[in-house]
Amino acid sequence: MPAKKKKNDKPLVGKALIKEVNRRIRVARSYWDAHNNRACRGEREKAMALYETLTKEQREQVPQTLRVWLRYRSEKYFGEHRTKPGSKKK
């Protein structure tokens, strides 16, 4: 039987939120490097959702390489203009 996941009732704030954004972006990049696009897409969406909650000052605390990957490079491959996974034409 797998371990139960702990549900965190408190939303992340401050340094914990920044740390979680950094962690999720790094996980998404590792999935990207491993060519695991489905997992990368999911982690990237979670990272983007958290990143959007950051203030301008907090966003500057995210390393630039992670910001660039999240906002620009990955948008090229996972943006709205791309075909969604599982939508094959017959």
Kindly tell me if the per-residue pLDDT of 3 is higher than 70. no
For the chain, the average pLDDT equals: 82
Q: What pLDDT is recorded for position 34?
A: 92
How far, in Å, CA of 22 to CA of 72, rounded?
16
Least reliable range by pLDDT among 15-19, 69-73, 79-83: 79-83
What DSSP string describes 38-53? HHHHHHHHHHHHHHHT
Residues 69/25, Cβ–Cβ less than 8 Å: yes
Task: Give the best-scoring range by mean pLDDT among 59-63, 69-73, 74-78.
Answer: 59-63
Residues 68/51, Cβ–Cβ less than 8 Å: no
